Amino acid sequence: MSALPQVEDRPEIVKKITLRLLPFLGLLYLIAYIDRQNVSYAKLQMVGDLGLSEYAYGLGASLFFIGYFLFEVPSNLILQKVGPRIWFARIMISWGIVTVALAFTTNATMFYILRFLLGAFEAGFFPGVLYLLTIWFPTSYRARMVGGFMFYSAIANAIGAPLGGVLLDLDGLMGLRGWQWVFIATGIPALLAAVVTFFYLPDTVAKAKFLTEAEKDWLTRTLTSEDQRDARTLHHNPLQALFDRRVLVLALWYVSLPLGAYGISYWLPTIVKGFGVSNTVNGLINIIPWVLVAAALWIVPKLAARSQSTVRYIAGPALIGALCLLASVYVPGNALKFAFICLGAAGVFSAQPVFWSLPSRFLTGASAAAGLAVINSIGNLGGFVAQNIVPLIADRTGSVEAPMLFVAGCVLVAAITIYPVFRFVKRPL
């Protein structure tokens, strides 16, 4: 087999694409992540108002992931057909409406239905962006791009933390409870961003007015050359990706990371509240872990891009995350417990962008769109598990630290098993 011609690296073109797309996509993810996580702050008042136990509230919050699971693959396949501009705008309009509607929840059943709908309407956004990155960036840049994109999830948590506390303290303004203001104030930005998305986001490389014809040609040749060089799979029917054994193994492995991430972010406000602080101070304290997460999301993918061993930058952060979460249960004093949780969060989150560079190494086109959606939809069931098991353990034990043992154990399993998983997915079909 003759060697394929090499296409020279053009970092100035990649930088141009990065500046055009990544901050904007990151801003959309910031809005989405705040809308997804606002329940952790609304919970501090909403549980009492609706008369729910911790477990019942966790069930309602977690129904988001069931809606996400059921609709994510169809959503990503539609996006691949109609283009991100229209489809992302549709996603944001629908999730914005549902988020605002959550402010007017009157009972548990309504809360359950709206959380399920939020997951169904938002489904496809995160894997849609991952697919978008595969058609805009060469392989060697993707982990850094995913890390840069996920960086905004940490910013979202850092912003959402004080914002959630401040909004809760608006309790009584205009006759509304604080938790109602949390949903209203976080839902409206999604509606505004939908309009901007429709006019700003290019559907394809060919339609990108910000690139010259020569730049478009270089990007197309580079991506085509990589697909041929790596013998990436393009199934005749994209739904075949649902049964690709490499996709399914990655999906099952990935469950542990969202479980750890959502277990931490869902439970942190409750842990900090146990320090005896006000809602506003709670929010301000919760900025700290997400600053560390943001730094880790920026640094780890850069180190991975320079390394010959990608997998160590998945296993290492996951192992550090698991050990820090485990230590947080046993160390004395609130300050030390909080410090270890912060470090644990940085480890769990920073393993993810490097992981997301793996599927596009063996999938391309519509198969990549479907495969990424499958991995994310199954993996995000970890969020469903976290938001049910974490409060259940807390209810049964009466301890706010005990749930971290379960979360730490799941992340530890992920750290230990990534090496055999990596070897398995490298095998050709």
3-class SS string, the chain: CCCCCCCCCCHHHHHHHHHHHHHHHHHHHHHHHHHHHCHHHHHHHHHHHHCCCHHHHHHHHHHHHHHHHHHHHHHHHHHHHHCHHHHHHHHHHHHHHHHHHHCCCCCHHHHHHHHHHHHHHHCCHHHHHHHHHHCCCCHHHHHHHHHHHHHHHHHHHHHHHHHHHHHHCCCCHHHCCHHHHHHHHHHHHHHHHHHHHHHHCCCCCCCCCCCCHHHHHHHHHHHHHHHHHCCCECCCCHHHHHHCHHHHHHHHHHCHHHHHHHHHHHHHHHHHHCCCCCHHHHHHHCHHHHHHHHHHHHHHHHHHHHCCCCCHHHHHHHHHHHHHHHHHHHCCCHHHHHHHHHHHHHHHHHHHHHHCCCHHHCECHHHHHHHHHHHHHHHCHHHHHHHHHHHHHHHHHCCCCCHHHHHHHHHHHHHHHHHHHHHHHHCCC
Identify the pLDDT of residue 88.
Answer: 92
Q: Is residue 221 part of a domain?
A: no
Give the C-alpha separation, 333 to 121, whole Å.
42
Give the C-alpha separation, 170 to 186, whole Å.
14
Of the listed ranges 235-244, 338-347, 360-369, 415-424, the one predicted with least confidence: 235-244
Domain of residue 281, CATH code? 1.20.1250.20
Give the C-alpha separation, 149 to 23, whole Å.
8
Name the amino acid, one letter, at 104. Answer: F
Q: How many domains does the chain have?
A: 1
Helices 365-379 and 381-397 pack at an angle, to 10 degrees, of: 10
Q: Is residue 113 part of a domain?
A: yes
In the numeric block, the tokens 């549902």 are attached to 98
Q: Is residue 103 part of a domain?
A: yes
- From residue 429, alpha-carbon distances to 73, 222, 426 in Å are 22, 24, 9
Which residues, 6 or more positions from 128, have their beta carbon under 8 angstroms from its beta carbon? 75, 76, 79, 84, 87, 88, 91, 369
Range of the domain at 27: 11-209+241-423
Q: Is residue 83 part of a domain?
A: yes
Query: How far is it between the farthest Cα atoms of the chain?
Result: 73
The model's confidence at residue 413, banded by pLDDT at 50, 70 and 90, is very high
Give the C-alpha separation, 416 to 420, whole Å.
9
Closest CA to 117 of 90, 99, 93: 99
Identify the pLDDT of residue 3.
Answer: 46
Of the listed ranges 36-40, 80-84, 96-100, 313-317, the one predicted with least confidence: 36-40
pLDDT tens by residue, 333-349: 778 888 898 899 999 99
| pLDDT above 90: residue 196 | yes
pTM of the entire predicted model: 0.75
Interior CA angle at 377 toward 376 and 382, to 5°?
A: 85
Q: Is residue 233 part of a domain?
A: no
pLDDT tens by residue, 259-309: 888 777 766 776 777 777 776 777 778 788 888 988 998 899 888 878 777
Q: Is residue 229 part of a domain?
A: no
Report the pLDDT averaged over residues 87-116.
90
Give the C-alpha separation, 318 to 346, whole Å.
9
Q: Is residue 404 part of a domain?
A: yes
Report the pLDDT averaged over residues 44-58.
77
Q: Is residue 343 part of a domain?
A: yes
Closest CA to 167 of 225, 159, 64, 228: 159
Report the pLDDT averaged over residues 192-218.
90
Give the chain's mean pLDDT: 82
The model's confidence at residue 6, banded by pLDDT at 50, 70 and 90, is low
Q: 263: burial class by Cβ within 10 Å (0-12, 13-18, 19+)? A: buried
| pLDDT above 70: residue 10 | yes
Identify the pLDDT of residue 138.
Answer: 84
Closest CA to 147 of 380, 357, 359: 357
Give the C-alpha separation, 106 to 188, whole Å.
20
